[in-house]
């Protein structure tokens, strides 16, 4: 299947987990993929698994200046970005009453504010071409809440509102903005949850298993496809029945 | 080499999909040329690109007619 022949896709946080699965999916369908990671080592890992299908770049999404430059460089080398997947995310879990300001700020900056900045930098080219796909990776906990994650839940819920508002602004230009909200997926991020958190979540998954990163990638690939042109401002929940909204 | 006026008019024709003869100096983007708010933002971005300048929001808000766009570029262009 070659759905994304001649398409350029930018995926933030692509060195491992869900971002890597998304990058591999789009690349396997013919897209030229640029994946970002915070470290040079992460970027090198992306370049390695992508091979001739794209490359990895080191980028701190919260650094507005280097972000602008990176987008410019990508567009110069590969052409305008057709598909943007905002996947980069971090956690700084703590009970709300114990949460430090810097834990709050770090998560909001990376998981929400950076998405605004990346979208703003990329949407210009999409507006010109009257075509584009933006997919923001939210989370089931943005809808359900999760103790110990007020920062993460706020940022992930924020993405849903952001996506709806942006979707309304750019729909007339052939650009769609959607979210995919993963449930409990088998990645390094969920490995870092404590046993209590894991058990509580696990008891509530009707599918009785963790999700695979490739199962998130499949939903992203669908939203990025031509067939999804009339879907915008929507959130697809991929969570094994954990939350039905 | 086209004049600034010609270049501005060309951008307006391209961005708003209007005919060249409609782009009169006094024509208002929103009232006469059928632009919505997103069209005017795109127009400003196109002007910024063509003339390699950055138009601050408070200035961009004042660019409402063909003549005001030409005037802005004349006063701020590097070329």
pTM: 0.90
Q: How many residues does chain B have?
A: 79
Closest CA to A158 of A117, A224, A111, A119: A111
Kindly tell me the burial class for residue A76, based on how many C-beta atoms sit within 10 Å of its own C-beta (0-12, 13-18, 19 or more): exposed
pLDDT tens-digit profile, chain B (79 residues)? 689 999 999 999 999 999 999 999 999 999 999 999 899 999 999 999 899 999 999 999 999 999 999 999 999 876 5
Residue A233 confidence class, pLDDT cut points 50, 70, 90 = very high
Is A49 labeled as catalytic in the residue annotation? no
- The tens digit of pLDDT for each residue in A116-155 reads 999 999 998 999 899 999 999 999 999 999 999 999 999 9
Is the ipTM here above 0.90? no
Residue ranges per domain, chain B? Answer: 2-73
Q: Which of B32, B36, B71, B79 is catalytic?
A: B36
CATH architecture of B2-73: Orthogonal Bundle (1.10)
Considering only CB atoms, which residues of chain B are within 8 Å of chain A? 38, 42, 45
CB contact under 8 A, B38 and A172: yes
Q: What's the CA gap between A155 and A110, in Å, rounded?
A: 9
Chain A residues near residue B42 by CB distance under 8 angstroms: 127
Q: What is the CB neighbour count within 10 angstroms for residue A25?
A: 24
CB contact under 8 A, A124 and B45: yes
| Closest residue, chain B, to A173 (C-alpha) | B38
Q: What percent of chain A has pLDDT over 70?
A: 99
Q: Name residue A211's beta-bridge partners.
A: A185
- For residue B33, the model assigns a pLDDT of 94
Between chain A and chain B, the number of residue pairs with CB atoms below 8 A apart is: 7
Which position has the token pair 């650009």?
Answer: A175
Chain A residues near residue B38 by CB distance under 8 angstroms: 169-170, 172-173
Residue A37 Cα, gap to closest chain B Cα (Å): 30
The DSSP string of chain A is --TTTT-EEEESS-SSHHHHHHHHHHHHTT-EEEEEESSHHHHHHHHHHHGGGEEEEE--TT-HHHHHHHHHHHHHHH-S--EEEE-------B-GGG--HHHHHHHHIIIIIHHHHHHHHHHHHHHHHT-EEEEEE--HHHHH--TTBHHHHHHHHHHHHHHHHHHHHHGGGTEEEEEEEE-SBSSHHHHTS-HHHHHHHHTT-TT-SPBPHHHHHHHHHHHHSGGGTT--S-EEEESTTS---
Chain B residues near residue A130 by CB distance under 8 angstroms: none
């Amino acid at each position: 299947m070659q759905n994304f022949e001649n398409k350029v896709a930018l995926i933030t946080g692509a060195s491992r987990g869900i971002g890597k699965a998304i990058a591999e999916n789009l690349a396997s369908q013919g897209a030229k993929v640029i994946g970002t990671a915070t470290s040079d080592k992460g970027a090198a890992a992306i370049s390695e698994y992508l091979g001739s299908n794209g490359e990895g770049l080191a980028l701190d999404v919260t650094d507005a200046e280097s972000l602008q430059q990176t987008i410019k460089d990508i567009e110069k080398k590969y052409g305008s970005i057709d598909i943007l997947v905002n996947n980069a995310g971090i956690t700084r879990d703590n009970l709300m009453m114990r949460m430090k300001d810097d834990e709050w700020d770090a998560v909001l900056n990376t998981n929400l504010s950076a998405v605004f900045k990346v979208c703003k930098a990329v949407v210009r080219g999409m507006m010109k071409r009257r075509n584009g796909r933006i997919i923001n990776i939210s989370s089931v906990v943005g809808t359900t809440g999760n103790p110990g994650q007020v920062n993460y839940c706020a940022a992930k819920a924020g993405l849903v509102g952001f996506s709806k508002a942006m979707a309304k602004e750019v729909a007339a230009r052939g650009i769609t903005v959607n979210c995919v909200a993963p449930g409990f997926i088998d990645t390094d991020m969920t490995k870092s949850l404590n046993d209590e958190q894991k058990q509580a979540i696990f008891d509530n998954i009707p599918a009785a298993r963790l999700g695979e990163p490739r199962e998130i990638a499949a939903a992203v690939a669908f939203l990025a496809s031509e067939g999804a042109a009339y879907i915008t401002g929507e959130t697809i929940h991929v969570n094994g029945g954990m939350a039905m909204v | 080499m086209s004049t600034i006026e010609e270049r501005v008019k060309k951008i307006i024709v391209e961005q708003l999909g209007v005919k060249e003869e409609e782009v009169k100096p006094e024509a208002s983007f929103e009232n006469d040329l059928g632009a919505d708010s997103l069209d005017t933002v795109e127009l400003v971005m196109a002007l910024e690109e063509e003339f390699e300048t950055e138009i601050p929001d408070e200035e961009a808000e004042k660019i409402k007619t063909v003549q005001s766009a030409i005037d802005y570029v004349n006063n701020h262009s590097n070329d």
